[in-house]
């Protein structure tokens, strides 16, 4: 284990728990209170749109965390994590469409509106069961997880890694995007799934529903963080980091590299799917654009900006980049992509450890500068 890994792990063990707890308290408690308990004209009031926006950021943070788990600790850069996110979102979207019932434009309780418009005669078999929330949750976990397991099984057994693995995962998400654009697939085609009415019986636009989804997103991020932290702090986590740094040596020592990488890749896909499932009711739509390769590349930028291999850094990077995106796309939309590209170049050249690494460097520099002063005073 190199000195960089040791420093990052030390920083994570010392600060990770306190940062996580602070995030949980703020995300799951303070924001809803400021939204519900303060008057609208108060400077401390959090408006409804901000609750939904922060809830979306929490889902993005879980997506970034899932990628950091497989890229930062196992060294496998997946440029297809947006596909797992979108698949979880489509599973939730199918459930929300089935809940519309007779309240749709065509008043058909058996078929979603887009199927009636396209003259579908019956509900496709793969839509069966999505009127049940338990079945939907099972599919949110199973569909991305099964895809990652099958893909990882063939890729890792064939010892495909590095840039080749990245290209394969990117090709996967691009192929899914093209497939979901087709009306024949039965997922709404270009328009996707939208016009949702309620979730678990609660009106979608109600204040209490939005707050509940926000709190659920914060708790899910907390659970995802704890699960990821448990994995990377275990013996498996040390094996994964060894695989990342010297895979051939780990194989030579007799460890099952394929099983370790397959496990963490599948877990990361499940986390991404859960993030997508909570993302959809908060934005009110899911369409094939979520499969775009650019989305998956952007997730990698979040992780790189925050600090790969630190867990907390991936969450920080997701909030930082998406906060900047919300500002620039409103204030100066024409420069956002230039800013994003410049940010990635800046991080790659001058901050390879990301924001978490920069904080550690500043702390170490302050410590070094403080020692001689203390010695002079004692003298």
Element (H, E) at 198: strand 198-199
pLDDT in tens, 83-117: 999 999 999 999 999 999 888 888 888 899 999 99
pLDDT, one tens digit per residue, over 319-359 is: 999 999 988 888 888 888 888 888 888 888 888 888 888 76
Boundaries of every domain in the chain: 3-294
- Give, in order, the Cα–Cα distances in Å from 35 to each of 23, 59, 139, 214, 280: 17, 19, 33, 11, 21
Render pLDDT for 109-143 as a digit per residue (tens, 0 to 9).
889 999 999 999 899 999 999 999 999 999 999 99
Give the position of tokens 């005073």.
Answer: 377
Contact 257, 247 (CB under 8 A): yes
Which tokens hold the place of 30? Answer: 């303070």
Residue 343 · residue 301 · CB < 8 Å: yes
Cα–Cα distance for residue pair 247/87, rounded to 1 Å? 30
In a 13 Å sphere around the CA of 11, the CA atoms on its Cβ side amount to: 24
> What is the distance between the terminal CA atoms of the chain, rounded to a whole angstrom?
38
Lowest-confidence pick of 83-87, 145-149, 302-306, 353-357: 353-357
Distance CA 379, CA 373 (A): 10
């Amino acid at each position: 284990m190199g000195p960089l890994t040791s420093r990052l792990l030390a920083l994570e063990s010392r600060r990770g728990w306190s940062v996580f707890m602070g995030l949980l308290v703020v995300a799951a408690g303070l924001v809803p209170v400021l939204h519900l308990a303060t008057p609208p004209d108060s400077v401390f009031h959090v408006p409804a749109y901000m609750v939904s926006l922060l809830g979306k950021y929490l889902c993005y943070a879980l997506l970034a965390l899932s990628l950091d788990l497989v890229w930062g600790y196992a060294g496998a850069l997946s440029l297809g994590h947006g596909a797992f996110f979108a698949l979880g979102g489509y599973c939730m979207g199918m459930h929300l469409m089935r809940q519309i019932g007779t309240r749709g434009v065509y008043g058909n309780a058996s078929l979603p509106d887009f199927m009636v418009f396209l003259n579908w005669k019956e509900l496709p078999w793969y839509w069966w069961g999505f009127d049940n929330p338990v079945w939907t949750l099972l599919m949110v976990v199973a569909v991305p997880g099964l895809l990652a397991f099958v893909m990882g099984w063939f890729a890792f057994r064939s010892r495909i890694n590095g840039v080749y693995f990245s290209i394969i995962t990117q090709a996967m998400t691009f192929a899914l995007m093209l497939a979901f654009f087709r009306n024949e697939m039965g997922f709404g085609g270009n328009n996707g799934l939208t016009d949702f009415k309620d979730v678990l019986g609660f009106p979608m636009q109600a204040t209490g529903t939005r707050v509940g989804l926000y709190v659920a997103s914060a708790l899910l991020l907390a659970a995802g963080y704890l699960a990821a932290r448990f994995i990377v702090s275990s013996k498996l986590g040390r094996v994964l980091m060894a695989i990342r740094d010297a895979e051939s040596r780990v194989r030579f020592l007799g460890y099952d590299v394929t099983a370790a990488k397959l496990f963490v890749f599948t877990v990361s896909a499940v986390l991404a799917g859960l993030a997508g499932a909570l993302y959809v009711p908060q934005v009110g739509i899911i369409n094939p654009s979520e499969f775009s390769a650019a989305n998956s590349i952007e997730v990698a930028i979040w992780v790189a900006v925050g600090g790969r291999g630190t867990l907390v850094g991936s969450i920080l990077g997701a909030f930082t980049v998406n906060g900047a995106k919300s500002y620039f796309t409103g204030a100066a939309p024409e420069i956002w992509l230039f800013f994003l590209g410049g940010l990635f170049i800046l991080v790659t050249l001058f901050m390879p450890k990301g924001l978490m690494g920069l904080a550690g460097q500043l702390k170490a520099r302050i410590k070094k500068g403080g020692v001689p002063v203390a010695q002079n005073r004692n003298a």
